[in-house]
Structure 1
Amino acid sequence: MSRHPASALLGLLGLTLLSACDVTFTPDMNPPDTGTTPVPTTPTTLADRTVPLAQAASATLNVPFSGTWSAVSIPAWLRLSQQAGSGNVAFTVTADRSLVTPLAADQQTLSAPLTLSWSSGTGSAARSGTVTWTVTAAQYSVTGRVTAPAQAQGNDIGTAAPPARTDTAPEARGVIVRYRATPDTLGIQGTPDTRQAQQTQQAQWQTVTRQVARTLSSAGLTGQAIRPLSSRSVAVQVSDVPAALAALRADPSVESVTPDVILRAQATAAPVTPTDQYAPLQWAYPLTGYGAVWRDMESGTYSKAVTVAVIDTGVRFDHPDLKGQLWQPGEGAMDLITSTGNGDGDGPDTDPTDPAVPGRSTGSHGTHVTGIIAARWGLNDASCAACSLTGVVGATRTANVKVLPVRVIDATGNATESDVALAIRYAAGLPVSVNGVMTRTPHAAQVINLSLGGATSAANAQEMCDAVQDATAAGSLVVAAAGNGYGTLPYYPAACPGAVAVASVTLSGGSAPVRSTFSNAYPQVQLAAPGGADPYTQGTFNGAALNGKPMPDMILSTSWDYQKNEPNYELEVGTSQASPQVAALAALLLSKGVTSDAAGTLARLNATATDLGAAGRDDQFGYGLINAAAALNAPAVSSGHGLRLQDARGRTYQPALDTLGRFQAWLGDGIYRAVAGEDLNGNGIYGETGERRDERSFTLSDTQPGVDLGDMQAR
């Protein structure tokens, strides 16, 4: 479900202090020293002061006062047991340090102002005002060291250029010939005379050497550096390898002859970086390891045909970045909207084009979702004067994957549960009734994407859930957006049994992503994928610039400008953008043959996901962030080492490592996971599935304010 624009099936004095909190009273709060016992008085005004919590989690405060008071400004990380009253200012203040711990975890002491409003007296003695009590709190500490392979600097050390990559047959400098067993070349078995055996072996070497030289000479070829390898085989360098192969294969005494190919040292492969104009803005693919996957695709093994159904608003078939990527009208594409009261419904038909309607200006949700999966690489057909000739890229690149568009969301962003249920069955290849005619698609989808949903009840969603079960039984994997409700309410159809509910994550600036604030968290969430940052927070950790300004952490894909009636590209954010990334990876697993059915594909996705937040499956991330490189056994494209640090609530921190790998992080109370590991897929997340790692769990609190993790071996 997209968060922007909208879419889918909507879609904190006194003497009673804890020992860690020592408050110093201002001079006007104490009577002068007259040498007599002071008479207790109750102040009628309040004064500014500092309230140090030190390492305590909370403190109980009781300040003498005569009047009324209220807390008018409370820092977000502080909680007061009472926010207003009359008489003494008395309450307990509790700190949640984690809420304001910075990403770098380098702030040893937290400090924030608590503002109180007060009034006292009556008539001419009436007074009022505000005071600021500055609350400070010491952070807790974790230290350790990440150890990795030794590193050094030196002016006489060079960096070798990466080896040239070639997709042609390996180069050969000669041939290897193996002769048939003959009386002249048989070894002597069981002889006690070692000298005799050596003489015999020498004779055999001479025999095969002379034989290969004669054969090559008769073909007008000259053998160089002829070297016996055994009693029956010999290597020889020749300038014309094909001619030597032909001549030697014609010799009946030759058992086999093969090129003596050149082997090379195997360094880490370079990731594939798309050259399409807007590809540098598509940060989600590197985050999930696609640089390695796209390199792996060059092997040509992603050849099995896979269809991904996108049940959505329909699509713009005329978007040049989608040409050749879609099943067309007449090939199974279908519009199943039965309602005609939305301004664009003309009943079910075979053309699921996302239409223009009065008042509509920009944004085709289904086109955006489709582009995430399958946008073309390289040059597109020219479509308008200002249009990019290359645009964006999709996850599936050259894999044998096509999208089946099925339209159920109208131009106002709405869909009915009945249409969605029908579409799920249709996409799975089951027969459905369309305009009174039994119809089924000729291209049943192995993967179905539903970037839609709503906060309906399980009872109301029963028909959709039944359809999900039918599609699953037919062999389809049903992937759905978990919802953008900022809460814990299950959204359907994602929460249906059998569906794969996908949550959204976004960049944190550290070595692990965090949950997008809008992304719903509930028990049915199985996986997470990049869906972007809340548009109201405008995170810009991706490092890219768009039109001279930092680009927000949103997902860029294909779309349509209905005002100009031409293709464009659009930034959107939501679980709608996370879901198709899971669908695309599922399709690639099937296309490469890593998995062969829906159950195996889901198991592989879960097993290779990067566990985020609390250890194990949780409601925020499910089994974790999809890891395309690990899932597809893609080659290593980097060899960095580092640390990622997260708390049980999914927040991430990135303490600095010094030149010896040591770190010290200042954190709030909580349960944490520290992972030191390598990064083989170039996504900056250390110690994922398939990468060597050292993981430690630890707890920080006022009773355990410091932890030393010691050496963590990231190798």
Structure 2
Amino acid sequence: MRPTYLRTRFLLVLLPLLSLLACDPSVTEVEATSIEVAPLYLSFDGTSEATLSVTANGSWTLTSDASWLKVSQSSGRGGSSTVRVTVDRSGLPAQQHAGRLKLSGSGRSVTVHVSMRFPHVTGTVVDPTDEIKPGSLPRADALQGASPSVSEAMPPDVVPGEYLVLLDDGMALALEASASGPVPLGARPHLTTLRAMGAGVARDHGLRLASDVLSSGLPVVKVHATEAEVERLRADGRVALVEPNRRWLLPQVEAVNAAHDFGLQWHYDHIDLGSAWALTQGDPDVVVAVIDGGFATRHPDLSANLLPGYHFERDDPDPEALDACVEHGTHVAGTVAATLNAAFGVSGAAPGVKVLPLSVGYETLDGATLVCALDSYAVISAVEYAAGESVAGLPPIAPVDVINMSLGGYGTNTTFEMAVRRAIDAGVSVVAAAGNDGFTNVVSIPAAFDGVVAVAATDSQGKRASYSNAGKAVDIAAPGGDKANGVLSLGWDLAQDEGTWLRMAGTSMATPHVSAVVALMRSMNPELDPASVTAILHASARDLGAPGRDDLYGWGMLDAGKAVEYARNSLGVTYRDVVVRLSQGGTLVAEAHAGVTGRFDLGPVPAGTYLLEAGTDLDGNGQISDPGERYASTTVAVAYAGDLAQDLQLSLR
């Protein structure tokens, strides 16, 4: 009995002591040998607050190497904790900054990389007098106002399990920084850094990269992922955006073999091409990039006007594709710049310019039908390359004058829109087909993107083609033909392996008429920017339908003669003449010229209340608010809650 009695008394004494020790904060917990933190990368893109989830098997400490980087607790104990991370920008220069957080235990530490920037002030300058015209009508979302039946009938198609991941370039700059502190203004991360970051994102999330980084200006990678993995990607500070890799089918239009004679190209009479040719048939220094499924580059009526191109779907320097993709691209390129010669008779609308053939298609089955499919990653790659970026290891070229895209789909595609915007900002006019589904309030992308010239189609009688989409984004109409009388251009006979001539109908056929005329305009006046080109197309169009602009024809039928004449005589103010300023208490904080479509970005600025002004300085005296100048101003409040967008409407003072 005695041993049992002693054990009982011992336990009665020991248990209260253990309880006291457990409650005593002076007792040190064993340092953690395992620490897990999520996310490992934090991006504060104009914002100020985020959280970290910490799981450890013991005590840990948390330190920051940047005075502006604050945490809600500097240490923790075993188990799970949530740490609030905030940014204090007081006294910092308004630019990109890099910092690091370090969690430490026993022989174990974890680093969290932090990228922080000040909010940007952005917007668009608009001139309601139309003396300076914007690059396009106000943006119309591809499905805005569409009936449910339209949305259900045309769901956005995607490549199963493939996603486009836009890397955060601010985080890349932070990773390049050797220590915490400000990053040089205007810096662009090195491609090697972006590649390493993309590989790290894939490795950390257990994903397989399906592409290299697209370009340093648009750092997109393609990955294979599940929906659950995509959600984790979106929480990663190295990732700015994740969206599906879209898939589109080239428009399936009936091709009819036809006699080849210039006199049979009735569609050129509809746009008064002869008057344009009296001024120019095109300058060989002017380049139209045709982004399409594929091309018969050996066609005798086309080869002399082709520059060395690329096949972005196959990653091949030879853009030729003698498969289901060949007819569409060859026909479109032929309408732009088939050579004018007596031997074959058919001509492009701008036979003196050059075509850069950029193939993006691949042959696949749609049910039992062999079709040409396009993935958005390949199309985006082609747009970037045509805009002067180094893509797929290719050396960069000078930006082309015009991009023709007789292709498209429905839904949203942010990375595609970013690529198109970058091309327009580089001075490239982008022309795209409105779509062939006969919708009255839906325009396909990229035609619906801001700044793109959206082309509707007319039939052989000069009326709206029954298949042509209509909507608020439509800029202009051009001949697309109909089943009875299609547009005559080039084709390729796969069975005979020889060039042929085809009639095809669609907005795909209307679009290269506009691209060719834009090339003629640029031949007459190389200084034209995309906004000026669009303004001239609007002003010179022959009105169709309801008086003035309407959703069926835009501003009317393309008039090549007037457009080229207006281009020759075009002198005046462009959006690049507009100065945008941000000031506070009479002190200038930021200044920039508007871009070719009126867009501006004044860069990072501290939180506060500012005067935002835009105006011309035609007399060169440094004042943008003089009488006789175009001017606009407003007060804006910048907060650390992200970027601020504010448009300005100019008026004559």
Structure with the greater alpha carbon radius of gyration? 1
Shared fold, TM over 0.5:
no
Tell me the TM-score normalized by structure 1: 0.41
Structure-2-length-normalised TM-score? 0.45
